[in-house]
Structures are given as structure tokens and as C-alpha cells.
Structure 1
Amino acid sequence: MVRLRIDLGYDGSSFNGWAVQNGQDCRTVQGEVEAALRLVLCGRDPDAHLPHLVVAGRTDAGVSASHQVCHLDVEEERLARCVGHMRMTPVEALQTRLQRMMPEDIAIHRVRIAPDGFDARFSALERTYVYRICDDPSSWDPRQLSYVWQTDRRLDEAAMNRAAALTIGLHDFGSFAIPNPGGTTIREVKTAHWSRVERRPLIAHPQGERYRTPAMESGLLCFTIVADAFARNMVRSLVNGCVQVGLGKRSVEWFAGKMATPKREGSTGPIAPQGLTLEHIAYPADDELAARAERIRARRTL
């Protein structure tokens, strides 16, 4: 067996999340990629070991990823068959075939042999998510429909940052997340802040303002959060809590109370998914991958 690392991205708007749903006939990213892998690697062999992807972070329905990572274990003989008449290595051949087979809303960025000890999920050091909001109806761009959330009320960025700062560090996010079976909602947030994308022109012309075309994301309010891992609904629920503060419906003190008492009580459910994008997965040096995976498998405590 050889372990492969696959880097990919996708527009989540037409997917029912990353993971295949047992017993449900719905479109998922995992389902699309595994179906292509099955065709390339197994053909019509009924006895073949069907490909199974292990992903760095499962995304919910409607959530996109500009950079997702997964791994796959495959028999070397099956990998070698990918070459066919192409003059390239088996891994390059698999990457080429997958890229040609993907639907328009999935992009295979790279396929490579994973280093020893690599586990897409457990070896990861941190994940970075960004939630994008347009809070100025006059500048709304309909092309952003699948990855930007829109509101017609201007948000208080300073108040939202005071709330977001409370999330940094090792906390139990039980007020904002749902634990996996046998798991916890304890996570370490390394970065959490709101910032507005600078309004800048795509073209600056000396003859006048009418020639200034704004860059596509100019003026958007973006929440960037980096953590070692995230519990289910954690990012979207934290965003919703911050937005309630930004709208003046809740106070920063209310948010602090939610952080201090990790208990779900209905006021901090997840915001709409379309504003959220998984942007980056970071891994340690190759010689630290196995040790990192072993540490992360342990149950966390405060």
C-alpha cells in the first residue's frame, strides 16, 4: 500500500457537505471524489478494495474550501495502472485523470505520495477558516452569492473584535459547538479577528474616478479564525454570536458569559453556511507527522 495526499478545493453551495451520508442519496464532495477514484483505480473489478478518503476537516453543507486536504491508501499495482499510454509517473497520471473527471465545482490541486506518518486529519497543526460578510447593500456583488453572506445592516467591527478576542486560547466551546460521539468541545484558538477588506481599485487611471474598477472583495467584513481543530458548527456559531454583538442585539458581556459557561441553550446557533470557506491546513515537518497524530488522538482536557 502507498498513502497519497490529495489537495483540493470546492464550491460548497451545491453539496450536502464533505462527508458521504449513509443511506441518503445526496451530493457530497467525498462522494464525487471517491466515485472518480473508484473508476480510475478499480474499474469494474467487483473485488477491488474501494477507495476511502480521510479528510483534514469535514465541512458542512454549503461551506466551501479553497484548500482542503485528504489522504488515500491505494495498492501500488492499481496506482501503476493509471499510467496507461501517458508518459508520466503513476501519481502524475492519477492527478491528471482526476482533474479531467471532476465536476466544475471541485478542483484537484495536487496529488503526491504522503511522507511516512502523514494523516490528513490527525497530523494537522491548525486549520484556517474565513467567514465573509457584505454589510453594505449598495456594494453587493451577486457573483459572490456562494461564498459571501449578506446583511442590510452595518456591523460594528470594533465590538465584534472585542467578542472575538475572548475566544483566543484553550477553551471549552460547548456554548458554540456540538461534540462528536466520545469527543469534547475543547479547542485551542490561535487567531480570531474581524477585518474589513481595503477598498482598492483593480485599475487606477489618472484621468478620473470613472475608470476605477473595484477589486471583487473590496469592503467585505471578514472573520479569520485559526485553531488546532474545530468542533461541529463551532465557527458558524461563533460568527453568529459576533454578528449579534455587531448588530447591537447582544453585548460583549453576553458573549463573555457564553464563553464562561460552555452550555448550549439555543441563542447561539450557526449562521448561514455560504459565507464560510476553509482556507488552509498547516502540517508540521515530515519527521514530526507521526508524533503529532499520536498526540491529537488523545482526549483533550482543560
Structure 2
Amino acid sequence: MVAVRLRLRVAYDGTGFSGWAVQPARRTVAGELTAALGRLFGPVTGLTVAGRTDAGVHATGQVCHLDVPDEQWQRVATARGTGEPDPTVLVRRLAGVLPPDVRVPGVEVVDDRFDARFSALRRHYRYRITDDPAGPPPLRRFDTLGWPRPLAHDAMAAAAPGLLGEHDFAAYCRRKPDATTIRELQRLDVSRAGDGVIGVAVSADAFCQAMVRSLVGALLAVGEGRRPVDWPASLLTRSDRASEVTVAPAHGLTLVGVDYPADPAQWSSRDAATRRRRDG
């Protein structure tokens, strides 16, 4: 059977989902997407995602891939009166069968060297916080954390550089058996926008479970003045989860992008390097 590998960009409002991964008797992003793809292609398997998001976390730039039979791809994505399949046709057809809180804004045919998870160079997240006494604006209440006390964003920004680089982030992760907590944190920026919203931009080669929200929780403690500026970095000496770090609520977090090598020839080498690191 000749298969076509599809790379999908996925956006979703995480409010109504129990995370990305399929779970029995729970509504998940992967569950809805798999069902929608199944309506068009028949039963699908092997949906692989760049990074599983937790319950309540949003995405504007999630990436996943799957393989579909070529004959099904030709049937589903070829517009009437044309002879060639068009990814835009699949985007339009998915919009007709997906629920309104999930969308696939882009589809691309890639070769089988591409892996949404292991070919990735880095993931980018954004966390939104407002300390306005009125709370988040009504239209942003689902993606912005309302903080009940004033925050010194300059102190939060000063604490961030100490966390950059490759470290064991065990203090900030929910450890899984036989999984490494060593990550390379490439960006951690804190800024206050003109509307008063504090944005935390976080990028890394990969993240372990609850890592971003734990980093934000530590920065919030600094912003409130409950912890000194050097406290978040001091936790990097821990080999276990730091119980004093509060995990920030999920709804303020959005996965905004995933980077991949521009040259398809580098996808396989990146895949092999990532697998070696994760297995080591």
C-alpha cells in the first residue's frame, strides 16, 4: 500500500478538553481530530503529535502527522473538476466535520522522514497573566490568568535568565518512570504589554509534564515578593519535584509554535539525535 504522510497544523481552545491524548470516556483533542479524520479517510491510526498538552492548555501552533493511503488522499483532497489533490480541500473539509473549538489551519504533504515529535527542534509557549483588579477582559478570560495581587514583572524578568540553558529540571517536572528531566531552556522572557498583560514566552528543545506551568508558578512567587529573585534558579540543584513550587493554572498557557529543520534532509538526523537523547 502506498501511503501519503500529512503534516497538520492544529489550533484549539483547550477549555473543554482533558488534554491532547486519547483517554477513555473523556473528550480530548486527539479524540476529536481522529474521529474527524476517520469520517473522511476511514479508520486512521498513528496520529503523532509534537507535544501532548495538558487538560485546559490551548494551542495555535500544534503540529501532528499521520499516514493515509494514497488512494484515499486522492479521493478526499481532489476538488471536483480537478485532477490533483489540494491540501486546502482537506482543510476545508475538516472544518466541516470538526467541532468549533478545534481547527486545522494548514495541511502539507511531507515525505516519511518527517516525524512531528522527534524531528522538532524546539517548542514555543506563551503564558498570559493580568494583575488588573478587574480581572481578565471578558473576551480573554479563557486564555489569561487573573492574578488577585500586584505583580512586579521586572523582578520576574530578572529571575528568568538563571533558568536558561541545559539543566535537570526535576524540581519543575512531574517525573515519569524511566524518563529524563534534562532539558535545554532556550528562552524565558517576561514582559508587560501596553494593556497591562504580563506575557511569559518560553522555548525549549522539549518540555516534561507541567514544566512550563511550574516555571511560571515560580516566577509568580517572585513577582509577588514571596521569594527572592535567585530562588527559581536555586531549585535546579534538586533531583526531585519541588513541592513548594505551585503549578500555574492551565488556561493561561498556549502552545504557539514548533520549529523544524527547513531542509527535509535534516529531519532524519534530527529524529535520530532526539531519540538518542530521550533514551539516554
Task: Please classify the TM superposition score into its range, dividing by the shorter chain length.
Answer: over 0.9
Residue by residue over 1:107-158, the C-alpha shift from the partner in whole angstroms, topping out at 9 and shown as x without a partner, is: 1111110134111011111111000001112463121111000012111112
Give secondary structure in 2 for the equivalent of 1:278. Answer: strand
Report the TM-score when normalising by structure 1.
Answer: 0.86
Report the TM-score when normalising by structure 2.
Answer: 0.92
> In structure 2, how many angstroms separate the alpha carbons of the residues matched to 1:65 and 1:178?
21
Are the equivalent residues in 1 in contact too, given 2:135–2:147 (CA < 8 A)? no
Give secondary structure in 2 for the equivalent of 1:258. Answer: helix
Q: Does 1:240 align with 2:217?
A: yes
2:50 to 40, 44, 56: 56
Are the equivalent residues in 2 in contact too, given 1:17–1:61 (CA < 8 A)? yes
The corresponding residue for 1:256 is 233
* Bigger Cα displacement from structure 2, 164-173 vs 245-254: 245-254
Code of the aligned partner of 1:264: R
2:168 to 172, 187, 190: 172
Q: Does 1:34 align with 2:34?
A: yes
CA RMSD of aligned residues (A): 1.9
Once superposed, which parts of structure 1, at least 4 consecutive aligned residues long, lie more than 4 Å away? none
> In structure 2, how many angstroms separate the alpha carbons of the residues matched to 1:301 and 1:29?
27
> In structure 1, how many angstroms separate the alpha carbons of the residues matched to 2:222 and 2:114?
40
Query: Structure 1 residues 116 and 52, CA, compared in 2 at 3 Å: closer, same or farther?
Result: closer
Query: Structure 1 residues 79 and 175, CA, compared in 2 at 3 Å: closer, same or farther?
Result: same
> In structure 1, how many angstroms separate the alpha carbons of the residues matched to 2:74 and 2:121?
32
Q: Does 1:294 align with 2:272?
A: yes
The corresponding residue for 2:154 is 158
Query: Structure 1 residues 79 and 276, CA, compared in 2 at 3 Å: closer, same or farther?
Result: same
Are the equivalent residues in 1 in contact too, given 2:180–2:278 (CA < 8 A)? yes
The corresponding residue for 2:25 is 25
Unpaired runs of 5+ in structure 2? Answer: none
Query: Structure 1 residues 102 and 299, CA, compared in 2 at 3 Å: closer, same or farther?
Result: same
Matches within 5 A, 1:139-158: 140-158=136-154
Count of aligned residue pairs for this structure pair: 275
The corresponding residue for 1:3 is 5
Residue by residue over 1:149-180, the C-alpha shift from the partner in whole angstroms, topping out at 9 and shown as x without a partner, is: 00121111122122211111000000001234
Bigger Rg, which one? 1
Query: Structure 1 residues 301 and 80, CA, compared in 2 at 3 Å: closer, same or farther?
Result: closer
> In structure 1, how many angstroms separate the alpha carbons of the residues matched to 2:185 and 2:210?
15
Are the equivalent residues in 2 in contact too, given 1:5–1:71 (CA < 8 A)? yes
> In structure 2, how many angstroms separate the alpha carbons of the residues matched to 1:139 and 1:252?
26
Unpaired runs of 5+ in structure 1? Answer: 43-47, 200-217
Q: Offset at 1:301?
A: 9.5
Q: Does 1:77 align with 2:67?
A: no
Query: Structure 1 residues 133 and 3, CA, compared in 2 at 3 Å: closer, same or farther?
Result: same
Q: Does 1:90 align with 2:85?
A: yes
> In structure 1, how many angstroms separate the alpha carbons of the residues matched to 2:135 and 2:265?
48
Give secondary structure in 1 for the equivalent of 2:266. Answer: helix
> In structure 2, how many angstroms separate the alpha carbons of the residues matched to 1:87 and 1:34?
28
Q: Offset at 1:96?
A: 2.2
Query: Structure 1 residues 165 and 87, CA, compared in 2 at 3 Å: closer, same or farther?
Result: farther
> In structure 1, how many angstroms separate the alpha carbons of the residues matched to 2:91 and 2:119?
23
Query: Structure 1 residues 179 and 294, CA, compared in 2 at 3 Å: closer, same or farther?
Result: farther
Matches within 5 A, 1:200-211: none
The corresponding residue for 1:226 is 203
Matches within 5 A, 1:115-126: 115-126=111-122
Code of the aligned partner of 2:275: R
Q: Offset at 1:31?
A: 0.4
Q: Offset at 1:248?
A: 1.2
Query: Structure 1 residues 153 and 63, CA, compared in 2 at 3 Å: closer, same or farther?
Result: same
2:14 to 9, 12, 27: 12
Residue by residue over 1:19-74, the C-alpha shift from the partner in whole angstroms, topping out at 9 and shown as x without a partner, is: 101xx2111110001001111101xxxxx5x3331000111000000111000011
Query: Structure 1 residues 300 and 71, CA, compared in 2 at 3 Å: closer, same or farther?
Result: closer
2:129 to 127, 130, 133: 133
Are the equivalent residues in 2 in contact too, given 1:176–1:269 (CA < 8 A)? no
> In structure 1, how many angstroms separate the alpha carbons of the residues matched to 2:177 and 2:4?
30
The sequence identity of aligned pairs, in percent, is: 41
